Each structure stands twice: as structure tokens, then as C-alpha cells.
Amino acid sequence: MARWATSLIAVVVLAACAPSPTQGPGSQPGASTSSTPQEPRTLNVSLQREPPTLGLRPLRESFAANYFPNRTFNADFAFLDDQGAPRPYMAEALPRLNTDTWRVFPDGRMETTYRFRLNLAWQDGTPFSTEDYVFGWQVYSNPDLGLARTAPFDGIDEVTAPDARTLLIKWKRLYPDAGHMAGRDRQLAALPRRLLQSAFETESADTFSNLSYWTRDYVGLGPYKLTRWEPGAFIEATAFEAHAGGRPKIDRVKITFIGDRNTALANALSGEVHVLADNVIQYQDAETLRREWEPRQDGKVIWQFNTWRGIDVQARRAFARPEALTDQRVRAALAHSVDREALTDSIYGGVAPLTDYVVAPLGIWASAVQRGAVPYAYDPRRAEQLMRDAGYGKASDGLYAGAGGRLSIELKTTAGPDNERELAVLADGWRGAGFDIAQAIVPSALSQDVEVRASYPGLYLISTPGGDRTAVTYTPDNVPLPENRWRGGNRSGWTNPEYTTLAEQFKSTLDVEQRKEQLTQMARLYTEDVAAVSLYFRPQVWAHSSALRGPVATAPDTDVSWNMPLWELQ
């Protein structure tokens, strides 16, 4: 725990410097005390990848970090502040449990009512109406579009608009996040009926999900509106005057896609770019920036710990090769053969907090997870004993073999310098422990292919958004399959009936203490069975020049761009 305590203290200290919740994106940030006209300023931001969509809830699954574009072009009921607490955004106030705005019925159903601010508008000038949320519900709950079985859609029975500013949601079960539905993969997004309803009613699911609206013709509700999209190069946007929180303080934003880390780093050092967002650079680059920037106070590097890093083990017998991976003892031996502390020291300078589960050892769930998770300390002797128990011994070459011959396992990861470095260190360590490991790199061109990411035969070194929203995905209805267009967060296919029951209870329990106990049990089941080899929460990098004021470190449930409308460019 001491290894990441320093990082956590830094997060808390930086967060303390953030604007108070009353100064968040819903607080009219455009107000200025100066009457002197100023030249329009452009915030230059670099991302690693071109976003596949600007939609708040993408209809096409994406594994790329998309935090900054998402925040730039979208607004919703609420936002999560730097501490992960929900605050009203487009809504005047959030529903409160056991009041007329959040009613719970004896049979487990609920109703939540939201009242929205006056004079809200879409970025094309069309007045916003709560009927746009009703339409959004109709789209996202459509089974052909692949999201109907995900939260919050799987818990909603009906969405109606009593009037243009009031929204009523009827729930078929208890849903603890019903009061705000903020945070990644939890939103019920509004969609502009005027632009999309005709296509939704006449086009196929594939055609609808590939409309130009989702990219170059996007119209949202966020602080900036799209003005130009040059494919493969950049996106330009201008401040949206009718934004729910008021006009953002910076006039323009230019988002450039830079796939080469060295180029991104050079642009930051030269001052051509103000923000490096969504992991456009990685840890080693960030250390270079810190060495160059800190003596001159030219900028800051912010670590974000919201991405779980680990090795998924293929659990579906139809895909699993070798079959030995379906033996818990073999998986446990693999886990005991990884020196995670040496790995994070060598690659991340000890910054990455070690973890045994997909929920970060930070925030409100930390103690619950630590009570339940079974640790797998580096212990080669224990690993060897487990392999003997499973029927495998070391041959003359020092590698494990059984009745069927040598035990050979493929370890994959997606192309990328840090990914490949981790892959090599892990493979070398496992070979030294007696496992015959074949390394495989998935090309960047296939990195977003959901079938490729779900149908691997052995082990897959991956990153995924950590937290309780990931913990509840390890259920049968979330397993990617051809019949659901390979959609679903449970890419390894691991399931457990007791875990599924707990996950469903966790999703429908309102009491926080009860939810903590459920999560404790979930962590125990997941780790006892070694559903994955958990490593750490990878330090995701945000960096900004000293010309920009406003970005701060945040809790794992949110991200650095949460207060972006308040940022100021000197």
C-alpha cells in the first residue's frame, strides 16, 4: 500500500486546489470581471487516436480512451466532480431518495423525476426538450443496436416527458445510480429527434450506427460545438454560447490526432500543444516532460488511476487453448509466478498501485475490495507445487510438461511500446518459472476489432476501465458472442453463478454499506478462481503547459476534463 500512498496524497492535494462544486460546469463559468475585449484563444489538445464517435454513449464499441472528446461535445443530467461526487448539470437538481423526485415502491420498482434548466438548446440552435431523452431511450434500448442489456437501459421500464422540462423514468428494479446516471458507461443520453428520428425509423441498425451524425456532423449539448473535422488529422470546435453551464472560458479548441509518441512529446515541449490527453503519451514520456518542465515550471503531469491492467484468461472452453487454462491451479500458478512489484518498478517507477481485483484500491470501495480479494504474492515455490498438483512437472529444458506434452500458452497484447515492453517482461518471467510462453502482438489496425479481442485462445494482457462498473460485467449476458455482435465487457467469458447473483444484487441495492459487502464477496469469488491475473492500475497520463490553468488530478471514477469549461488559457 505504501507504494502508491504518495501518489494518492498528491491526488488529494491537487484536488484540494480544484474549484469547489459550486464552481463546476453548471455554474455559469463564462462570467468575466473584465470588460476589455480579448483576442480569441485556441486550446490545442493532442490525442493518440481519432475518436470513432463523439456520442456520449457510442453505438459502436470502442476500447480507446475517449474522455476529452466526450466531455468537449456533450452534457447530461449531471457530472462527476474531482472527488467522483455527482453534481447537477443540465438538471436543476438531482432526485433525492424517498422524496417525490425518487420514489421506491414495495415491489422493487422505482420512479425518478428530473427537472431541467430553462432555455437549454442543442448546438445547432434547436431547443432542447425532454422528449430528446425519450427518443434517446428508444434508440439505446433497441436490441438491434447492442446496448439494451447494459446499464442503465436494462433497468428501465419506461421513459416519458410530462412536459418539455420534466422527465419521468419508471424503473423495473432498484438502481443505485438513478439519481444522476453520470460516469462512463452509465449515461442515458439525449439524442436530437429532429436529426435522427427519421433515420432510426427507416434505416437498419448498421446504417443508423454509421451515420455521419456520430462523427463529422455531430450536434451535442456540451461546452463546444464541432466546426470542422479533418479525417485523420484534427477536430476544431468553438465555444457554445448556450451551454448549460454558460459559455466556456476558452474560445476555441483544436484536437489533433498524433499516433507517434515522440511527436506528441516534442509538441508539448515546444509549446505547440497545451494539453496531452487520453494517454497520447505514456509513462516514460511523462517522466521526460517532468524533468524538462519542473525546473522552469513550464507545465504539469497528472497521473490518472482509472485503468485496470491485467491478464485476462480465456474461460470459454470453445476458445481456450491449452485446456489446462481451465484448471484453477494452473491459473493460480501463473499468478504466483508474476513479480508485480518488480514489474511496476521497472516500467512505472513504482507509481502504479498494485491491485488484486478490477476495482481500484482507492476511493469508497477500497476497503471492501481489500477485505475480499485473495492476493497472489510472487512465490515460485508455491507455483511449482500447484503445477505438480495439476499434473505438470518440469522437463529437462526446465519447462512444464504433462501427459499431453509441453504446456505452451499464447500471451497477446495490443501493439504499443509500453504494452510490448510489459509483454516481454511478463513472458520472460513466466519462461523463467517454467511456462512456455509464445508472445503475440495484435496490430493497431485490429485493436478495435471486438471479435479479435474476445476470441483469443490463451492469455490477453489488456487495459480496461476499472471500478464497480467493470466488476458487474462478469456475467453470462455480457459475454461477447457472434449473436450479440461481439458486444459485452466480459471478454474472457468467465462467469460464476454466485458471482452473477451478487453482481445483480449490487446493481439493484441502494444502501451503500450493503453494496460494499456484496463487492467484498464478488472480489473473493473472482480472485479465488483466478479469473484474471491482476497487475496494477496503470498510470494514465494527462499533461498540460503552464499556460493552462484548471486541470487537476481526480478520483478514479471521473477524469481530468471534468471541469474543462472552467479552464483558462493565459
* 321 and 467 fall within a common domain: yes
- For residues 500 and 564, state if they share a domain: no
- Residue 517, domain member (yes or no): yes
Q: Are residues 464 and 562 in the same domain?
A: no
Full-model pTM: 0.81
Tally of domains within the chain: 2
Domain extent, residue 442, equals 306-539
163 and 69, same structural domain?
yes
Nearest-CA neighbor of 554 among 184, 178, 151, 42? 184
**One domain for residues 434 and 557:** no
Q: Which helix (H) or strand (E) holds 533?
A: strand 532-545
Nearest to 433 by CA among 527, 339, 356: 339
Question: What is the DSSP secondary-structure string of 216-252?
Answer: TT---SSSEEEEEEETTTEEEEEE-TT-TT-S-SSSE
Q: How far is CA 347 from CA 284, 422, 533, in A?
A: 8, 8, 18
Q: Note whether residue 143 is domain-resident.
A: yes
188: domain CATH number is 3.90.76.10
d(CA 536, CA 1): 12
314 in any annotated domain: yes
Q: What angle do CA 341, 347, 348 make, to 5 degrees?
A: 80
Q: How many CB atoms lie within 10 A of CB 148?
A: 15
Each residue's pLDDT expressed in tens, for the chain with a length of 570 residues: 434 443 433 333 333 333 333 344 544 433 344 445 567 899 999 999 899 999 999 886 555 568 999 999 999 999 999 998 999 999 999 999 999 999 999 999 999 999 999 999 999 999 999 999 999 999 999 999 878 888 899 999 999 999 999 999 999 999 999 999 998 788 999 999 999 999 999 999 999 999 999 999 999 999 999 999 999 999 999 999 999 999 999 999 999 999 899 999 999 999 999 999 988 998 989 999 999 999 999 999 999 998 999 999 999 999 999 999 999 999 999 999 999 999 999 999 999 999 999 998 888 899 999 999 999 999 999 999 999 999 999 999 999 999 989 999 999 999 988 899 999 999 999 999 999 999 999 998 887 788 888 889 999 999 988 899 899 999 998 898 888 778 788 999 999 999 999 999 999 999 999 999 999 999 999 999 999 999 999 999 999 999 999 999 998 888 999 999 999 999
Residues 199 and 335 in one domain: no
- The verdict on 194 and 336 lying in the same domain is no
